[in-house]
């Protein structure tokens, strides 16, 4: 397959040189004033993510996953701690400077796709290039749509696309600017299992073949098992960080039957009390 993206950030380190992580956060905190009290949502998160990693973040509802993703995605600022993105300290930047970083380095994919209603797929994907004042926009947008299998749908509106196809448009839109990282907050959360598998196939291909660093949040342990590293958060802190030796292959490994999954869940819940809260 043709290499679509010439990654300026994909350089390999020289022998002996330690590659700097693409994301390095140190003791990140986030708190919200709530009347007299302060709500501590993130309680000191330290995490390194290297180029080419494929990480899923899991955790109970309200544990701070989206808060963390919004900080990683430069959509929000931490209250305390440090954030180096691609070596650049961005924890204290102004909103305008953050917007520039976001546009240049980050592709974000949302659970509800966040597409414009009256805009064709091609135009949706061109938009970030327009903001970035980039050249050759139409061809780049077409190539990105092609790379997610939507060459035949470029003139369709969101209402003329399935949920899985809409999410693939959103992935093309996140990719088209050639970002250092792709962040996704429950990208398969609103999809049926077949569309979810298609989306996972795309994320796996982008990661394996293009080396795109990908981080996403999921509630679905089956989906998480398709990534190469799982970080678990609970109550604003990292409680587990585990590399997966043999990630599942989307579209090849079959999802177990619901009965089997329920049985496993029951089993794990019975013995550890954990499976339940992470789904």
Ligand X SMILES: Nc1ncnc2c1ncn2[C@@H]1O[C@H](COP(=O)(O)OP(=O)(O)OP(=O)(O)O)[C@@H](O)[C@H]1O
Which residue stretch of 21-29, 64-72, 101-109, 260-268 sits at the interface with ligand X (rule: CB under 6 A)? 64-72
Beta strands 80-85 and 181-185, pairing class: unpaired
- Chain centroid to Cα 235, Å, comes to 21
63 contributes a contact to Mg ion by CB under 5 A: no
Q: Number of residues in contact with ligand X, rule: CB under 6 A?
A: 11
Question: Could you tell me the smallest distance in angstroms from the CB atom of residue 96 to ligand X?
Answer: 21
| Per-residue x/- track, 113-142, Mg ion (CB under 5 A) | ------------------------------
Long-range CB contacts for residues 111-117, cutoff 8 Å, separation at least 24: 111/185, 111/186, 111/187, 111/189, 111/190, 112/190, 113/158, 113/163, 113/166, 113/167, 113/169, 113/170, 113/190, 114/170, 115/158, 115/166, 115/169, 115/170, 116/158, 117/157, 117/158, 117/159
63 contributes a contact to ligand X by CB under 6 A: yes
Which residues in the 164-223 window bind Mg ion by CB under 5 A?
Answer: none
Tokens of residue 226, six digits: 């398709």
Q: Which is nearer to ligand X, 5 or 216 (CB)?
A: 216
- Kindly tell me which residue out of 22, 24, 25, 41 binds ligand X, with binding defined by CB under 6 A: 41
128 contributes a contact to ligand X by CB under 6 A: no
Which residue stretch of 8-16, 54-62, 84-92, 128-136 sits at the interface with ligand X (rule: CB under 6 A)? 54-62
111 contributes a contact to ligand X by CB under 6 A: no
64 contributes a contact to ligand X by CB under 6 A: yes
Greatest pairwise CA separation for the chain in angstroms:
58
Q: Which is nearer to ligand X, 66 or 195 (CB)?
A: 66
- Kindly tell me which residue out of 66, 166, 207, 227 binds Mg ion, with binding defined by CB under 5 A: 66
- Distances in whole angstroms, Cα of residue 122 to Cα of each of 81, 151, 153, 163: 39, 10, 8, 17
Tokens of residue 74, six digits: 């430069």
- Kindly tell me which residue out of 52, 53, 65, 168 binds ligand X, with binding defined by CB under 6 A: 65
Q: How many CB atoms lie within 10 A of CB 151?
A: 11
66 contributes a contact to ligand X by CB under 6 A: yes
Quick check: 98 and 270 in contact, CB under 8 A?
no
Instruction: List residues near ligand X by CB under 6 A.
Output: 32, 39, 41, 59, 61-67
């Amino acid at each position: 397959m043709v290499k679509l993206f010439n990654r300026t950030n994909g350089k390999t380190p020289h022998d002996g040189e330690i590659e700097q992580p693409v994301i390095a956060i140190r003791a990140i905190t986030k708190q919200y004033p709530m009347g007299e009290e302060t709500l501590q949502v993130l309680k000191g998160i330290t995490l390194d993510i290297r180029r080419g990693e494929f990480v899923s973040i899991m955790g109970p509802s309200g544990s701070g996953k989206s808060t963390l993703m919004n900080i990683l995605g430069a959509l929000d600022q931490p209250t305390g701690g440090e954030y180096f993105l691609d070596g650049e300290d961005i924890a204290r930047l102004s909103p305008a400077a953050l917007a520039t970083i976001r546009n240049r380095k980050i592709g974000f994919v949302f659970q509800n796709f966040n597409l414009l209603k009256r805009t064709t797929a091609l135009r949706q994907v061109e938009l970030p290039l327009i903001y970035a004042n980039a050249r050759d926009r139409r061809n780049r947008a077409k190539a990105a749509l092609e790379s997610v299998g939507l060459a035949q749908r470029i003139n369709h509106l969101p209402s003329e696309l399935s949920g899985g196809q809409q999410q693939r448009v959103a992935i093309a839109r996140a990719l088209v600017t050639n970002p250092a990282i792709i962040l996704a907050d429950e990208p398969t959360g609103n999809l049926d299992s077949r569309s979810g598998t298609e989306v996972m196939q795309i994320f796996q291909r982008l990661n394996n073949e293009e080396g795109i660093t990908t981080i996403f949040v999921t509630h679905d342990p089956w989906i998480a098992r398709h990534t190469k590293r799982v970080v678990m958060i609970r109550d604003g802190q990292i409680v587990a960080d585990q590399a997966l030796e043999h990630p599942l292959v989307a579209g090849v490994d079959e999802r177990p039957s619901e009965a089997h999954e329920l049985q496993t869940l029951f089993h794990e819940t019975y013995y550890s009390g954990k499976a339940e809260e992470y789904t």
